[in-house]
Amino acid sequence: MHELSIAESIVDIVHQYVDKEQLSDVRSVRVKVGTFSGVVPDSLEFSYQAITAGTLLERSTLTLERIPFVIECKDCKRNSVSEDGITQCPLCSSFSTSIISGRELQVKDIELEDIEQVKS
Ligand SMILES: [Zn+2]
């Protein structure tokens, strides 16, 4: 399962940024998930809970922040949110667009019991 390997990499990132003795203090791991990153949010949350069960990260939860799919049109210079992932400009029908956001999948920050560690 795709989401399972993503959940494993998120756990790896947490291990990389948080000292071993603080792992049990991790409360939440915030992850930016683009609407078109190809990840099923529910499935990712489920996978994370499944692989952290019985580990030091057992009490932590995954907080997903949905990032809309936004395209920028090179012809009319406007940005639009695309609900269906189509990269054609809805305003002028141009295909000369670039993707601004919506494909990302990244750990934004890790929240510990007392202090907050910010990573970008
Ligand atoms: Zn346009």
Q: Is the pLDDT of residue 116 over 60?
A: no
CATH of the structural domain 2-114, one choice from 2.40.50.1020, 3.40.47.10, 3.30.2320.80, 1.20.272.10: 3.30.2320.80
Q: How far away, in angstroms, is 67 Cα from ligand 1 center?
A: 21
Q: How far away, in angstroms, is 99 Cα from ligand 1 center?
A: 13
**Contacts (Cβ under 8 Å, ≥6 apart) of 74:** 94, 96, 97, 98
Per the CB < 8 A criterion, the answer to whether 94 and 80 are in contact is no
Per the CB < 8 A criterion, the answer to whether 26 and 107 are in contact is no
Sequence spans of domains, the chain? 2-114
Q: How far away, in angstroms, is 111 Cα from ligand 1 center?
A: 40
Q: Give residue 8's identity as a one-letter amino acid code.
A: E
Q: Residue 84's pLDDT band (boundaries 50, 70, 90)?
A: confident
Percent of the chain with pLDDT over 70: 94
Q: Could you write out the DSSP letters of every residue in 13-39?
A: HHHHHS-GGGGGGEEEEEEEEETTSS-
